[in-house]
Amino acid sequence: MNILKKLSLSVSALAMVASAASAEISDGVVKIGVLTDMSGTYSDLSGEGAVVATQMAIDEFGGTVAGAPIEIVSADHQNKADIAANKAREWGDTQQVDAFAELVTTSVALAVFEVAKQQNKIALVSGAASSPLTSDACIPTGLHWTYNTRALAVGTGSAIVKEGGDSWYFLTADYAFGEALQGDVTKVVEAEGGTVLGAAKHPFPASDFSSFVLQAQASGAKVVGLANAGADTINAIKAANEFGLVAAGQKVAGLLVFLTDVHALGLDTAQGLQMTVSFYWDLNDETRAWSQKFFEKTGKMPTGVQAGTYSSVLHYLRAIEATGSDDTDTVLAKMREMPVNDAFATNGVLRTDGRMVHDMFLAEVKSPAESSGPWDYLKIVRTIPGEEAYGPLSESNCPTK
């Protein structure tokens, strides 16, 4: 036996040991595909930051799980469902992507759900907000992590009705998410004894909100609910201030406001605004430490969507670590079995309808005097227990729950 033959034998023996270690990991690699809005309306609240957050979860594992390397791929879906679905299909079919992450914009999440269902892959939804994602539109492998429109309605909606804001008018983004949010808030308002006077649907995205603000003014409602997000919310709030809606005694309720929106508006305009958040960097030592790391990489404090993306990917990897497998059903079962504990959630529970139930927070934007500097924007008014925010499992219409 010459030396070359010996060498090749020992190399193949080594290779066998290595493949045994990741025997249960398909293709020998765990690949996570982050599909998000990198350049549009939602790119600040998600975008690059969501990719960084995913990478932070991977880094906590030192880049390998169950003996296999973890890889990340990302793409800009431009908030377009067709682009997102094509990319997801390509990733799943040809690039061995095991899980899709982030998926902001409801229409995108719905389209990727379709692909995930066909390919039996896990979809970790963070940015999309519509509650039907774990109800009528649910799929067995679709997990909804950060928040949903029901939780937002329970938080901000009921708080405002309790303060006497019992008649509402909505400015609603004209797509699935706006409709879901308006629907969920309407339910809460009516359950608390309030009334909804009407709604104006605006194109998504829109830049000029003056005419919609005028219609809201004419409605005479005490509360103008903004069933939109991102730049749309910012511009709607600006228009409401400019046209004297707030000065005349009507209240503006941002139903989905992100930390980045407050940052962009400035405290002068945003102060006093109530918002429901899934995460705030300044909640406790753990959130501060994690957020500081995020800040060092991006120059911004994380939004709930970004922290939620981190948490969902981390939990997914933990389940792979625990089972030694990336088989969808095995990993899913483990994810449901383990409580979610990280910088984002404490004792979160993953339900069979795909909903990750965790506490939410009702927050109020500080006044410039109360704030000690950039990113010190929110004070937490109330912790909303997960069960209250997301409702019982029996409320979900998910057929596979």
Partner 1 sequence: MLTDLLGIPPQVLFGQLMLGLINGAFYAVLSLGLAVIFGLLNIVNFAHGAFYMLGAFATVAVTQYLGIGYWGALIVAPLVVGAFGAAIEYFLLRRLTGVDHLYGLLLTFGLALVIEGSFVKMFGASGLPYPVPAQLTGGVNLGFMFLPWYRGWVVVASLAVCIATWFLFERTKIGAYLRAGTENPKLLQAFGVNVPLLTTLAYGYGVALAAFAGVLVAPITQVSPLMGSNLIIVVFAVVVIGGMGSIMGAVVTGLAMGVIEGLTRVFWPEASATVIFMVMAIVLVLRPAGLFGKTA
The only residue of 265, 313, 335, 389 in contact with partner 1, by rule CB under 8 A: 265
The helices-and-strands tally (H runs, E runs) of the chain is 15, 15
Closest CB to partner 1 among residues 67, 205: 205
**Strand (E) or helix (H) holding 171:** strand 167-173
The only residue of 165, 230, 304, 348 in contact with partner 1, by rule CB under 8 A: 230
CB of 237 to partner 1, least distance (A): 10
Could you tell me which stretch among 229-237, 321-329, 331-339, 377-385 binds partner 1 (CB under 8 A)?
Answer: 229-237
CB of 203 to partner 1, least distance (A): 4
Distance of CA 171 to the CA centre of its chain: 22
Write the binding mask 159 to 178 for partner 1: x where contact by CB under 8 A, - elsewhere: ---------------x----
CB of 239 to partner 1, least distance (A): 8
Could you tell me which stretch among 151-159, 264-272, 364-372, 386-394 binds partner 1 (CB under 8 A)?
Answer: 264-272
Question: Strand 360-365 to strand 99-102: parallel, antiparallel, or no bridges (unpaired)?
Answer: unpaired
CB of 125 to partner 1, least distance (A): 20
Task: Say whether residue 234 binds partner 1 (CB under 8 A).
Answer: yes
Torsion on CA atoms 255, 266, 208, 363, rounded to nearest 10: 0
Asked if residue 140 has a cis previous peptide bond (ω within 30° of 0), the answer is no
Task: Say whether residue 47 binds partner 1 (CB under 8 A).
Answer: yes
Distance of CA 395 to the CA centre of its chain: 21
Helix (H, G, I), strand (E, B), or coil: what is residue 75? strand
Task: Say whether residue 64 binds partner 1 (CB under 8 A).
Answer: no
CB of 303 to partner 1, least distance (A): 11
Q: Are 253 and 349 in contact (CB under 8 A)?
A: no
Question: Strand 360-365 to strand 274-277: parallel, antiparallel, or no bridges (unpaired)?
Answer: antiparallel
CB of 87 to partner 1, least distance (A): 19
Could you tell me which stretch among 44-52, 67-75, 80-88, 106-114 binds partner 1 (CB under 8 A)?
Answer: 44-52
Q: Are 393 and 351 in contact (CB under 8 A)?
A: yes
Length of the chain: 401
Q: Which of residues 188-227 bind partner 1 (CB under 8 A)?
A: 200-203, 205-208, 210-212, 214-215, 217-218
CB of 305 to partner 1, least distance (A): 13
CB of 265 to partner 1, least distance (A): 6
Question: Strand 349-350 to strand 356-357: parallel, antiparallel, or no bridges (unpaired)?
Answer: antiparallel
Q: Are 70 and 61 in contact (CB under 8 A)?
A: yes
d(CA 78, CA 92): 19
d(CA 379, CA 142): 32
Could you tell me which stretch among 20-28, 103-111, 126-134, 262-270 binds partner 1 (CB under 8 A)?
Answer: 262-270
Closest CB to partner 1 among residues 231, 357: 231
Question: Measuring CA to CA, which residue among 28, 35, 43, 51 is closest to residue 115?
Answer: 35
**What token pair was written down for 366?**
């500080």
Contacting positions for partner 1 (CB under 8 A):
39-45, 47, 174, 200-203, 205-208, 210-212, 214-215, 217-218, 230-231, 234-235, 238-239, 242-244, 248, 260-261, 263-266, 268-269, 300
